[in-house]
Structure 1
Amino acid sequence: MRLVDLRFAGWQLEPIPEAPARYYGKCRSCGERSPHAALVGQGQLWCLRHTDATGHAEYEIFESQEFNATVPADSTPATT
Protein backbone atom coordinates (compact mmCIF):
# COMPACT_ATOMS: atom_id res chain seq x y z
CA MET A 1 0.00 0.00 0.00
CA ARG A 2 1.31 3.46 -0.83
CA LEU A 3 -0.44 6.73 -0.08
CA VAL A 4 0.52 9.12 -2.84
CA ASP A 5 -0.74 12.41 -1.45
CA LEU A 6 -2.80 12.52 1.74
CA ARG A 7 -3.17 16.06 3.05
CA PHE A 8 -4.95 17.49 6.08
CA ALA A 9 -4.82 21.06 7.36
CA GLY A 10 -1.60 21.81 5.50
CA TRP A 11 0.18 18.56 6.43
CA GLN A 12 0.87 15.53 4.27
CA LEU A 13 2.00 11.98 4.99
CA GLU A 14 5.00 10.58 3.18
CA PRO A 15 6.16 6.97 3.52
CA ILE A 16 9.68 6.60 4.90
CA PRO A 17 11.58 5.04 1.96
CA GLU A 18 14.05 3.09 4.09
CA ALA A 19 11.22 1.62 6.22
CA PRO A 20 9.45 -0.95 4.04
CA ALA A 21 6.00 -2.31 4.83
CA ARG A 22 5.89 -4.96 7.56
CA TYR A 23 3.29 -7.67 8.10
CA TYR A 24 2.02 -9.62 11.08
CA GLY A 25 -0.70 -12.14 11.78
CA LYS A 26 -3.06 -11.95 14.75
CA CYS A 27 -5.13 -14.78 16.20
CA ARG A 28 -8.74 -13.63 16.63
CA SER A 29 -9.32 -16.30 19.29
CA CYS A 30 -6.59 -15.41 21.79
CA GLY A 31 -5.06 -12.17 20.47
CA GLU A 32 -1.54 -13.58 20.11
CA ARG A 33 0.47 -11.96 17.31
CA SER A 34 3.27 -13.07 15.07
CA PRO A 35 6.53 -11.14 14.92
CA HIS A 36 6.62 -8.41 12.26
CA ALA A 37 7.95 -9.76 8.97
CA ALA A 38 9.02 -8.40 5.60
CA LEU A 39 6.78 -10.80 3.66
CA VAL A 40 3.05 -11.39 4.12
CA GLY A 41 3.65 -15.14 3.71
CA GLN A 42 5.71 -15.18 6.91
CA GLY A 43 2.70 -13.87 8.86
CA GLN A 44 0.47 -16.44 7.19
CA LEU A 45 2.89 -19.25 8.06
CA TRP A 46 2.82 -18.16 11.70
CA CYS A 47 -1.00 -18.39 11.59
CA LEU A 48 -0.85 -21.97 10.31
CA ARG A 49 1.70 -22.96 12.96
CA HIS A 50 -0.45 -21.31 15.64
CA THR A 51 -3.46 -23.29 14.40
CA ASP A 52 -1.44 -26.51 14.62
CA ALA A 53 -0.35 -25.67 18.18
CA THR A 54 -3.68 -24.36 19.53
CA GLY A 55 -6.53 -25.41 17.26
CA HIS A 56 -7.47 -21.74 16.79
CA ALA A 57 -8.69 -21.04 13.26
CA GLU A 58 -9.59 -17.34 12.89
CA TYR A 59 -6.88 -14.82 11.96
CA GLU A 60 -6.20 -11.37 10.58
CA ILE A 61 -3.14 -10.18 8.66
CA PHE A 62 -2.03 -6.58 9.14
CA GLU A 63 0.27 -4.39 7.08
CA SER A 64 2.24 -1.67 8.83
CA GLN A 65 3.97 1.25 7.10
CA GLU A 66 5.96 4.06 8.71
CA PHE A 67 5.22 7.65 7.66
CA ASN A 68 6.48 11.16 8.33
CA ALA A 69 4.11 14.10 8.55
CA THR A 70 5.56 16.99 6.57
CA VAL A 71 4.53 20.45 5.46
CA PRO A 72 4.70 20.89 1.68
CA ALA A 73 6.79 23.82 0.52
CA ASP A 74 3.65 25.52 -0.85
CA SER A 75 1.61 25.17 2.37
CA THR A 76 1.42 26.27 5.99
CA PRO A 77 0.14 23.91 8.72
CA ALA A 78 -3.04 24.95 10.51
CA THR A 79 -2.78 25.85 14.18
CA THR A 80 -5.43 24.94 16.70
Structure 2
Amino acid sequence: MTKETIRTVLLQEISAEIAIPPADIDDQASFMRLGVSSVQALKIISRLRKQLDLDINPVALFEFKTVDDISEYLAEEAAA
Protein backbone atom coordinates (compact mmCIF):
# COMPACT_ATOMS: atom_id res chain seq x y z
CA MET A 1 0.00 0.00 0.00
CA THR A 2 1.45 3.34 -1.00
CA LYS A 3 1.66 6.53 1.00
CA GLU A 4 -0.52 8.23 -1.62
CA THR A 5 -3.25 5.58 -1.32
CA ILE A 6 -3.23 5.92 2.46
CA ARG A 7 -3.23 9.73 2.17
CA THR A 8 -6.30 9.60 -0.08
CA VAL A 9 -8.23 7.34 2.31
CA LEU A 10 -7.18 9.45 5.31
CA LEU A 11 -8.27 12.68 3.62
CA GLN A 12 -11.65 11.14 2.82
CA GLU A 13 -12.12 10.08 6.43
CA ILE A 14 -11.09 13.47 7.81
CA SER A 15 -13.37 15.14 5.29
CA ALA A 16 -16.29 13.03 6.47
CA GLU A 17 -15.65 13.99 10.10
CA ILE A 18 -15.06 17.73 9.72
CA ALA A 19 -17.21 18.43 6.64
CA ILE A 20 -14.45 19.95 4.53
CA PRO A 21 -13.78 18.68 0.99
CA PRO A 22 -10.63 16.50 0.84
CA ALA A 23 -9.04 18.90 -1.66
CA ASP A 24 -9.34 21.73 0.86
CA ILE A 25 -7.51 19.88 3.64
CA ASP A 26 -3.91 20.99 4.11
CA ASP A 27 -1.88 17.79 4.55
CA GLN A 28 0.81 19.76 6.41
CA ALA A 29 -1.61 21.21 8.99
CA SER A 30 -1.93 19.57 12.37
CA PHE A 31 -5.11 17.67 13.08
CA MET A 32 -5.82 20.13 15.88
CA ARG A 33 -5.53 23.05 13.46
CA LEU A 34 -7.91 21.25 11.09
CA GLY A 35 -10.42 21.06 13.94
CA VAL A 36 -10.25 17.31 14.52
CA SER A 37 -11.27 16.57 18.11
CA SER A 38 -9.95 13.59 20.06
CA VAL A 39 -13.31 11.82 19.66
CA GLN A 40 -13.23 12.43 15.90
CA ALA A 41 -9.63 11.20 15.76
CA LEU A 42 -10.67 7.92 17.38
CA LYS A 43 -13.49 7.52 14.86
CA ILE A 44 -11.08 8.20 11.99
CA ILE A 45 -8.56 5.65 13.32
CA SER A 46 -11.31 3.06 13.74
CA ARG A 47 -12.45 3.46 10.14
CA LEU A 48 -8.87 3.49 8.85
CA ARG A 49 -8.20 0.18 10.61
CA LYS A 50 -11.07 -1.40 8.69
CA GLN A 51 -10.39 0.22 5.32
CA LEU A 52 -6.63 -0.29 5.32
CA ASP A 53 -6.68 -3.58 7.24
CA LEU A 54 -3.93 -2.31 9.55
CA ASP A 55 -3.56 -2.49 13.31
CA ILE A 56 -3.30 1.24 14.04
CA ASN A 57 -2.61 2.47 17.54
CA PRO A 58 -5.24 5.11 18.44
CA VAL A 59 -2.44 7.36 19.68
CA ALA A 60 -1.02 7.57 16.14
CA LEU A 61 -2.99 10.71 15.24
CA PHE A 62 -1.51 12.42 18.28
CA GLU A 63 2.06 11.24 17.64
CA PHE A 64 2.00 11.93 13.91
CA LYS A 65 0.34 15.30 13.79
CA THR A 66 -0.27 15.84 10.06
CA VAL A 67 -1.88 13.91 7.22
CA ASP A 68 1.51 13.69 5.53
CA ASP A 69 3.23 12.37 8.67
CA ILE A 70 0.68 9.69 9.47
CA SER A 71 0.40 8.64 5.81
CA GLU A 72 4.13 8.03 5.72
CA TYR A 73 4.05 6.15 9.03
CA LEU A 74 1.16 3.93 7.93
CA ALA A 75 2.80 3.20 4.57
CA GLU A 76 5.91 2.03 6.45
CA GLU A 77 3.75 -0.09 8.78
CA ALA A 78 1.91 -1.64 5.84
CA ALA A 79 5.23 -2.51 4.17
CA ALA A 80 6.59 -4.17 7.32
Question: What TM-score, normalized to structure 1?
Answer: 0.31
Relative to total residues, which structure has the larger strand share, 1 or 2?
1
Higher helix share: 2
TM (normalized to structure 2)?
Answer: 0.31
Looking at CA atoms only, which structure, 1 or 2, has the larger radius of gyration? 1
